[in-house]
Amino acid sequence: MMKISIRLGEPFWRTAGQREVEIAMPEGATAADALAALAQTYPALAADLSNGEAQPTLFIGDEVASLDSPLVDGARVHLVWPVSGG
């Protein structure tokens, strides 16, 4: 099993009640798998993660990631809401 840290940005951390969570993931897991595990652990986050309007932006380390990005043991995922406007 791999240990993954997920840093939650607005509004996700307010829903979860904490800014960072650690989850255990099997080898070969992707960012999508981590989000599914996060939604299962914090069911209130499921609506925030799939509200239909926009998708959260994911970073693994300092790099923008996609849902199919692979995770490695000790990965630090940052989940933020996309910002736009002027």
Note the pLDDT of residue 51: 63
Distances (CA, A) of 86 to 58, 82, 83: 22, 13, 10
Note the pLDDT of residue 47: 79
Note the pLDDT of residue 44: 87
In order along its 86 residues, the chain shows pLDDT tens digits of 999 999 999 888 998 899 999 999 999 999 999 999 999 999 988 877 776 666 788 999 999 999 999 999 999 999 998 776 55
* Residue tagged 């791999």 (tokens): 2
Contact yes or no for 43/86 (Cβ under 8 A)? no
Using DSSP, state whether 74 is helix, strand or coil: coil
Domains contained in the chain, CATH given: 2-80 (3.10.20.30)
